[in-house]
Amino acid sequence: MPLVLAATPIGDPRDASIRLRDELAGADVVAAEDTRRMRRLAAELGVELPERVVSYHEHNEASRTVDLLEAVTKGERVLLVTDAGMPSVSDPGYRFVRACVEADEELTCLPGPSAVLVALAVSGLPVDRFCFEGFLPRKGGERRRVLEELATERRTMVFFEAPHRIAVSLEVMAGVFGHDRQAAVCRELTKTHEEVRRGSLGELAEWAVEGLRGEITVVVEGAPEVVVSLDDAVAEVISRRDRGARLKDVCAAVATSTGHGKKALYDAVIAHRRSDRSD
């Protein structure tokens, strides 16, 4: 099997599988997101790496994929690993996998640690259905737009977030999803200072203002089932609007509380207004 994707420990090196140790020692080429971290992990595992250990990260994926695909085509065993967790999941790897698939080359994957699954397991939230959303956009407007599109998502949602953005992201989530929506902030999973904080988004947003460190995964409860009809939701929007609230703000709030999409609710209110004028 020329290309092997392998999950690496997300914190504790003891989580490395026996198969990972074997593949590190037996590969012709090891492609790592950070070669220094890879060598450090190998030393902790007592494994001697092959001579060819090359970097493979977001800045050289395009050019390095060509070289690695050539090695696979020649029958060399290439092991692809990232800094922590599963390659391709918010990490480099997808481009290489697509190249191998299109070239009809064989590939396999060694299962292992995943921050997404660990966070879900310890969150205390429903895990029968979930979706992974990765990192939210850095820019405020794009971040809010993405979250508004997820406002009616019924499945439990999982996000990655950087420490310096977590407070703002939680605040925006609380505003879009509702302050009472339940969530869990999982920090430094499997590491010495592992911490899982559970509560409402409003509570977590206030807590995070003090600042957090480390790798962070956020798990958010899905939207409640819609129990209010669209007509009733429109009537509620109109009632609040007549009391002086801004239409867009009211639509956002009622969408969160009823489970209807913000845009669908806004369009229905505009259509209702036009119908009243025509009468």
CATH number for 116-220 (one of 1.10.287.110, 3.30.70.420, 3.40.50.300, 3.30.950.10): it is 3.30.950.10
Mean per-residue pLDDT, 192-219: 96
Residue 197's pLDDT band, with cuts at 50, 70 and 90, is: very high
Mean per-residue pLDDT, 13-24: 96
What pairing do the DSSP bridges indicate for beta strands 130-135 and 156-161?
parallel
C-alpha distance from residue 128 to each of 117, 121, 241 (Å) = 12, 11, 38
pLDDT tens profile 128-154: 999 999 999 999 999 999 999 998 899
Averaged pLDDT of the chain:
93
pLDDT at position 53 is 97
Q: Does domain 3-113 have CATH number 2.115.10.20?
A: no
Residue 250's pLDDT band, with cuts at 50, 70 and 90, is: confident
Residue 255's pLDDT band, with cuts at 50, 70 and 90, is: confident
